[in-house]
Amino acid sequence: MKTMRSVILDEADRWLFPVVLLVSVYLTFRGHNAPGGGFIGGLVASAAFVLRYLTGRHREDPIYEVFRPHTILGAGMLVSTITALAPLFFGDSLLESHIWKWKIPVFGELKIVSSTFFDLGVYILVIGVVLSILVALGIDQDENEDNPNEAPA
């Protein structure tokens, strides 16, 4: 995979990667009122990482160094579970939604529903799932092929 690099794909990734990530976040947050949500957002973000992997530029990407996919996976699980359990501490039932509304001058009313955090957890978790599959089936195998005598990372 390293040997065949396409300049067009490289450039596409350079510009698309941040945009796609931004779109994924946008999709996640608007999900409560319009098509989108954590699962869709997470998949879109994962698509960005997959694209980056296909270009071979993932080798320069610090995300695999800083967070291991399983850490991201766990973080997503944690955020969702905490959001799900939080209402129990206030005497409500599991996953009970709470709606906060603030009036902000100029922008108008800002409404945050607690389930947004739950969706955020789903978003993170989906990225973690795809990344860990990407690492297990893609990146580690590449390294195996490159230097078959060394253990995968």
Partner 1 sequence: MTLLLLAHLLVAAVILTALRSRPRLAAFLGIGVLLASATTTALLSARPTQATESWEWIGELGLRIDLALDGMATLMVLVISLLGAIVLWYSINYFSDHVAYVRFVGIFVIFAGAMSGLVMSADLFTMFVFWELTSVCSFLLIGMNDESASARASALRALLVTGAGGLCLLAGVTLFQIAAGTSSFTELAAQSPSGTLITVAALLALVGAFTKSAQFPFHFWLPGAMSAPTPVSAYLHSATMVKAGIVLIARLAPIVGHDDIWRWTIVLAGGTTMVFGGVRAMRQTDAKLLLAHSTVSQLGFLTILMGLGVPGATYAGVAHLLAHAVFKAGLFLSVGIVDHASGTRDIRKLSGVGRSMPVVAWLTGLSAASMAGLIPLFGFATKEKALVALLDADEKVGLVAQVALGFVVAGSVLSVAYSVRLMRGLFGTKPGIEPTPIHHPSWWGLVIPMSLTVVGSVFAGLMASSIGKWLDSPAQALDSKAYGKLALWPGINTAFLLSVGVILIGAFAARLIPTQPWRNPIKISGENIFQYLYDGLITTAKRITRVTQSGSLLAYNAVVVLVIIFVLAAALLAGTDSGVTELTFADSFFQFIVVLLACAFTFGIAFTQQRFVAALLLGGLGFACAVIFVMFGAPDLALTQILVETLIIVVFLFVLRQLPRTFAHKNKFAPRSIRIAIATTLGVLVALFTVMVSGARTAPTTGDEYTTLALPEGGGRNVVNVILVDFRGVDTLGEITVLAVAAVGVANLVHMANRRRRPGGPEHVESNTSEGVPQ
CB 37, min distance to partner 1, A: 4
Alpha helices in 5-139 (DSSP H): 7-30, 38-55, 63-66, 69-89, 115-133
- Is 149 one of the binding residues for partner 1 (CB under 8 A)? yes
> What is the DSSP-derived secondary structure letter of residue 135?
I
Residue 48 lies near partner 1 (rule: CB under 8 A): no
Contacts of 94 (CB under 8 A, 6+ apart): 84, 85, 87, 88
What distance separates the 2 farthest-apart alpha carbons in the chain? Answer: 63
By CB under 8 A, name the one of 52, 55, 58, 121 that touches partner 1: 121
Under rule CB under 8 A, residue 152 binds partner 1: yes
CB of 67 to partner 1, least distance (A): 14
CB count within 10 Å of CB 76 equals 22
Query: Of these, 20, 48, 55, 69, which contacts partner 1 (CB under 8 A)?
Result: 69
Contact 3, 146 (CB under 8 A): no
* Nearest distance in Å: CB 45, partner 1: 10
Q: Minimum CB separation from partner 1 for residue 5, in Å?
A: 17
Q: What DSSP state is assigned to residue 70?
A: H
- For partner 1, the closer CB: 5 or 111: 111
Any idea how long the chain is?
A: 153
Using CA atoms, how far apart are residues 31 and 76, in angstroms rounded to an integer?
17
Q: Which residues of the chain form contacts with partner 1 (CB under 8 A)?
A: 31-40, 43-44, 46-47, 50, 54, 69-70, 73-74, 76-77, 80-81, 84, 94-95, 97, 99, 111, 113, 115-116, 118-119, 121-122, 125-126, 128-130, 132-133, 135-138, 140-141, 144, 148-149, 151-152
